[in-house]
Amino acid sequence: MIFEHLRLDLQEGILIVTLDRESALNAINMATMDSLHRLFGQYIPDHDEITGVVLTGAGPKAFAAGADIKEFAEFSAQEGKHLSAKGHETYFLIEKSRVPVIAAVNGYALGGGCELAMACHMRIAGEHAKFGQPEVNLGLIPGYGGTQRLIQYIGKGKALELLLTADLINAEEALRLGLVNHVVPSGQEVETSRKLLLRISEKGPVAVRKVIEAVNAYFTEATDGFHFEVESFGYACGTQDFREGASAFVEKRKPQFTGH
Ligand code: CAA
């Protein structure tokens, strides 16, 4: 499979995905969105050897500076709606990925780029990273989930302030607000993310998948997350992985999970 504008590198089961349009600050054009859609919709689910994904941007300056403004500058209302819907579909694939996805934010994460980072399960920011939803500067609103996910991380009041003023925040402020998990020295974003995913890859794969699903259930309308947890706990209890995990605990050894 060919993924235009993405660079892929598989290391010890962790897939490093680099948005590769450095001259446009990795702005997400339609071809990039299509690549992300196929990557998370088909490729990753079909490759069991992948236990985690790091998403990052090429070059030292940007994770992604947003949707590609030049590409949709002349769009009609209908075309804009399609663009937004495709972005939502793609970012939901990331949020619902069976394996954890970490955004290694190596610079600007703006507009659709900030929304991409927020669709990931965790965010590791370099100390010079900058976050924001500057769409109102363009007479637009966020189109890839920004109005919904920013609230989930930082709360309604602060989210409204950032969405309405288009102000950018630095990595320390993003950490303080709960938008990012850790801030690391510039250049260490990917390696820190990779190490975190390697630690998670030692856990039971079914349990990892079920935790992601159960946490997502909290934010899914018409889904009772508590009920979902009951069902998922029961499911996990019936797996070989749980037998192995419990036996390993009793026998004081490291578990060997198989994902079944
Ligand atoms: N789309 C298309 N091209 C972009 C871009 C974007 N979102 N962001 C940057 N670029 C391009 C610039 O046009 C420039 O290209 P040229 O060299 O061909 O002129 C190149 O990347 C470098 O950018 P700058 O010269 O502007 O770099 P800078 O250091 O002076 O500024 C920046 C950096 C503050 C990030 C500035 O580029 C900027 O404000 N970018 C736009 C950010 C933005 O508004 N993002 C939201 C997009 S809309 C959106 O995402 C909607 C949605 O939710 C779906």
Query: How high is the pLDDT of residue 232?
Result: 95
Query: How high is the pLDDT of residue 234?
Result: 95
> Across the chain, what does the average pLDDT equal?
97
Residues 28-82: tens digit of each pLDDT: 999 999 999 999 999 999 999 999 999 999 999 999 999 999 999 999 999 999 9
* Residue 52 to residue 104: CA distance in whole angstroms: 13
| Domain extents in the chain | 6-201, 205-251
pLDDT at 168 over 90: yes
Of 83, 144, 98, residue with least CA distance to 119 = 144
- Residue 165, helix vs strand vs coil: helix
Total residues belonging to the chain: 260
pLDDT at 24 over 90: yes
Residue of 69, 81, 84, 131 with the most ligand 1 atoms within 8 Å of its CB, for mutation: 69
Query: How high is the pLDDT of residue 98?
Result: 96
Q: Give residues (CB < 6 A) around ligand 1.
A: 24-25, 27, 65-70, 87, 108, 110-112, 115, 134-135, 138, 140, 142-144, 146
* Residue 245 to residue 260: CA distance in whole angstroms: 12
Query: How high is the pLDDT of residue 185?
Result: 98
Q: Which of the residues are catalytic?
A: 115, 135
Residues 211-236: tens digit of each pLDDT: 999 999 999 988 999 999 999 999 99
76: left (phi over 0), alpha (psi -120 to 50) or beta: beta
Chain centroid to Cα 174, Å, comes to: 16
Contact partners, residue 63, CB within 8 Å, separation at least 6: 19, 26, 56, 57, 103, 104, 105, 106, 107, 108, 109, 113, 116, 117, 129
Question: In this structure, which residue's CA is closest to atom 6 in ligand 1?
Answer: 68
Q: Mean pLDDT, to the nearest integer, of 149-177?
A: 98
Give residue 192 CA to ligand 1 midpoint distance, Å: 27
In ligand 1, which atom is closest to the CA atom of 24?
21
Q: What's the CATH class of domain 6-201? A: alpha beta
Query: How high is the pLDDT of residue 226?
Result: 93
Q: Mean pLDDT, to the nearest integer, of 193-210?
A: 97
pLDDT at 1 over 90: no
Question: In this structure, which residue's CA is closest to atom 2 in ligand 1?
Answer: 68
Residues 110-123: tens digit of each pLDDT: 999 999 999 999 99
Question: In this structure, which residue's CA is closest to atom 47 in ligand 1?
Answer: 66
Query: How high is the pLDDT of residue 209?
Result: 97
